[in-house]
Chains A and B, each alone.
Chain A
Amino acid sequence: MKRGYLEEAVQPLNLRTALEEANRCIVCHDAPCSKACPAGTDPARFIRSLKFRNVKGAVETIRTNNALAGSCAKVCPYDQLCQEACSRCGIDKPVQIGRLQSFLVEQEKAFDMKVVKAPAEKKAGKVACVGAGPASLAVASQIARAGYDVTVIEREAKAGGVLTYGIVPARLPQSVVDFDIQLIEELGVKFKFNTEAKAADLEAYDAVFVGTGLWDANVPEIEGGDLDGVYSAIDFLKEAREKQADFKIGNRVIVVGGGDVAMDCAVTAKLLGVDDVRILYRRSIEEAPADMNEIQYATSLGIGMTTGAYPVALKGDGKLKTVEAAGFYDEEAKMSLSADTIVFATGQKAEAQSGIGALEQDAKGLIKADENGFVGGKYFAGGDVVHGGKTVVEAVAAGKKAAAAMIAYLEEKGVK
């Protein structure tokens, strides 16, 4: 069923249907679902609480363990994590853990629960988080709960990073992102928006976390790459968020790529009213990194997926008119497709971080950090800028780890 651009694709559960689903939980001894969550959200424990009708206790577990619980509930690749591990798979199909988590976060809002709190007595240390994406937000929450002063510095006008400027609202409603962020703000975390972090400004802080993500588009060198109508996924999704129905992209849109971001771009174009949306992916569907649910959702909207082909040239007269494609496995294959817009969802890289300080970056722009996010000096880093394009829940996991290391660093340094 096609819905609007801002309308969520998945039906929410109510208490009765949530209890029915929780009752499908086997209540395992060693809970593989909990072991499979990178961020330690502990689904086994919150599902057990729900099954035993302790809704508030379930919320407590979720929010204590995951500062971005609402967002993760919408965008986690469960099928590859907790739900894949679910023992119920041995009987029929896994417990729908993501939907239960979404339901519980809605209850948290309804009950106006304040699960996590910052201590009344503040510590002397000051921490800066550069970028307001998932990793930084997770760090900010943990550090504020430990009693430190935290400032998040963000160059855009809103917090959330990829949650706000990337993922399509049909998959992740903005209200869910905003609620996660509101709870972090209520811990006393300060946000400086529309601000590029500069090394000089960071001198005032005892520790700095860099979570600047991957915001440099990886558009291939291609003939016609400078034509109007050629977008990187980042620019396309951001402009779609800002302009919505006023975003003029024509009536034929081609999205290049096979990941979740490609699916988001294609779904966005379709939900904005484009008739002919086609995904061009050089490999096969089973090789595509996108979550199978996302691929199925895209195709259910009538989006075509042409596999084994990739664009070799873009033709047009100032404005894109035709995409020339070639076979990736089939050397003889050639295609010529009419298009008003082409979106390259073929990966992103990190921008140069030289403004922040002397941080070593590799060819893809990734910052080198140890397993706890330690970079050097007072600098820590995590999320996509360290690990490449990974999931939100992995960014939360990296943020939690880095926060623990930063707290240990501050304590050792004597900033208490």
Chain B
Amino acid sequence: MAFKKDLSIEFAGVKCLNPFFLASSPVCNNYDMIAKAFEAGWAGVFYKNQDSVPEHEISPIFGVTDMGGPWSMFKNCEHASQNSFEQNAEFMHRLKRDYPEHRIFATLMGGSDDDWKKLVKMAAEVGIDGVELNMSCPHMGRDNMGSDVGCNPDLVEQYARAARSVTDIPIIAKMTPNITNMIPSAMAAVKGGASGVSAINTVKSIIDIDKDLLTTEPVVNGKSAISGLSGKAVKPIALRFINEMAQYPGLKDVPISGVGGVYTWEDALDFLLLGARNVQICTSVMEYGYRILEDIISGISYWMEEKGFEKLDDFVGMALRNITTPSEFTRTFKIRPAFDHDTCIGCGRCYVSCYDGGHQAIDWDDELRRPSLNTDRCVGCHLCQKVCPVPGCITPGEVAFDEGATPENIVYKKSFR
């Protein structure tokens, strides 16, 4: 697709061709893979996680739940790169030489201050653009590595400080979502010397239980474990954390890299609109390949054209002002659903859901097989619109203000698909 806007952006002081990087994972584990991705337009990589622990990988490694279309969720129990550090250093060195405009951040995971210093120093000496500190892998089973670190702000700060003590290049701290509040860990990382944060790593999970083997996926010799969930299901969780960090005054100028469930240009744009200046992608690449970037770039370019934006800085973070807290909502009106009896196919799903899951506000005509609204009972929840299988059949109708409330101009969503 030929139509493209300028999507270049600066992230943590590094100029990037676009905000789209491969996330530290199997999708970027050697020279050939990353070269192919760069040729396909990816601006950079967070090079597959490296640590000092000898790896002996399990088999199989993954589990999926598919609700039609792309994977709905993807569970992995993969550990770090199985290449030697020397091998990876050689790959990264050649990639920097052959693709000077593309960016390489090495994702690393240490288990002690010395371990971190050694890893970061070795990576920085390769001449890469930055490092990412993995403080968030959810299936380590150690309290000095992985998500147990990310849940412990003191340890986050200590490790960040150790990393910063040996290099000046950008340091990004990767956060875990397996925590109630991400802010203390993010603040600790910055305090320790991190230049920015990335979020989220995968979510601790168990997917479906196999009804014969009586365990979840991946099944490793009859057993499984809690391990990291990614894919479409985790995007809402990621966006929540990105929003909270971007809105937090203490992190206002800290660059954020958004990760979690990006498949389409719309998903990627969600992260940018909530203030992320970099977007990492893994699961959708594992499912469909590097080629998915084509439609992300094309789709965002067409959206920018439609809205009159020329560069990403024109709109990064633009949705933040419209994400507030429930206590701030206007609570003076109800929007009544309108039913279009011509496009209605008479399925009665709105009636079923309104009765059993709502406020019994829909009357059903058994003869005509059509709904009608009981305005006395309707609370305006729009569950009926959400279950209607026909686009444009149930739509927001009249805006009714509560008795005594002052009518005002109400902004509401009018188009659904």
Contact = CB atoms under 8 A, between A and B. Distances in A.
A52 interface: yes
A49 B298 contact: yes
Interface residues of B, number: 21
Nearest to A60: B1
Interface string B404-417: 00000000000001
B299 interface: yes
Contacts of A52: 263-265, 292, 295-296, 299
B291 A57 contact: no
Nearest to B303: A56
Contact of B265 (A14, A27, A54, A61): A54
A335 interface: no
Interface in A43-59: 48-49, 51-54, 56-57
Given A16-B391, A23-B68, A53-B266, A48 B295 contact: yes
Interface string B290-323: 0110111011001000000000000000000000
A321 to B, nearest CB: 48
Q: Which of A14, A52, A60 has the most CB of B within 10 A?
A: A52
A54 B299 contact: yes
Contact of B298 (A14, A27, A57): A57
Nearest to A27: B288
A64 interface: yes
Contact of A61 (B1, B264, B266, B296): B1
A64 B1 CA distance: 9
Interface in B216-237: none
Contact of A23 (B1, B69, B291, B292): B69
Interface string B12-35: 000000000000000000000000
Interface in B255-282: 263-266
Nearest to A46: B1
Contacts of B302: 54, 56-57
B3 interface: yes
Contacts of A57: 1, 3, 294-295, 298-299, 302
A27 B299 CA distance: 18
A323 to B, nearest CB: 46
B2 interface: yes
Contacts of A53: 264-266, 295, 299
Nearest to B392: A14
- Tell me if A's interface is mostly helix, strand, loop or mixed: helix
A395 B3 CA distance: 28
Contact of B299 (A14, A23, A56): A56
B2 A54 contact: no
Nearest to A25: B69
Given A53-B299, A57-B299, A64 B2 contact: yes
A23 to B, nearest CB: 4
Contacts of B292: 52
Given A56-B299, A57-B298, A60-B3, A14 B391 contact: yes
Nearest to A113: B302
Interface in A282-341: none
Contacts of A15: 391, 417
A227 to B, nearest CB: 49
A48 B291 contact: yes
Contact of A49 (B68, B69, B263, B295): B295
Contacts of B70: 23
Given A15-B417, A16-B417, A48-B291, A54 B69 contact: no
Contacts of A61: 1
Contacts of A64: 2
Nearest to A48: B295
A14 B389 CA distance: 12
Interface in A367-415: none
Contacts of B296: 52, 54
A16 B69 CA distance: 13
Interface string B146-174: 00000000000000000000000000000
A52 B266 CA distance: 9
A60 B298 contact: yes
A9 B192 CA distance: 68
B265 to A, nearest CB: 6
Contacts of B2: 60, 64
Contacts of B391: 14-16
A51 to B, nearest CB: 8
A30 to B, nearest CB: 12
Given A14-B391, A23-B69, A54 B298 contact: yes
A54 B417 contact: no
A377 to B, nearest CB: 35
A328 B219 CA distance: 66
B156 to A, nearest CB: 36
Given A49-B298, A57-B294, 8 more contacts: A49-B294, A52-B263, A53-B265, A54-B296, A56-B3, A56-B299, A57-B298, A64-B2
14 contacts: A15-B417, A16-B391, A49-B1, A49-B299, A51-B69, A52-B263, A52-B296, A53-B264, A53-B265, A53-B295, A54-B264, A54-B298, A57-B295, A57-B299
Interface of A: 14-16, 23, 27, 48-49, 51-54, 56-57, 60-61, 64
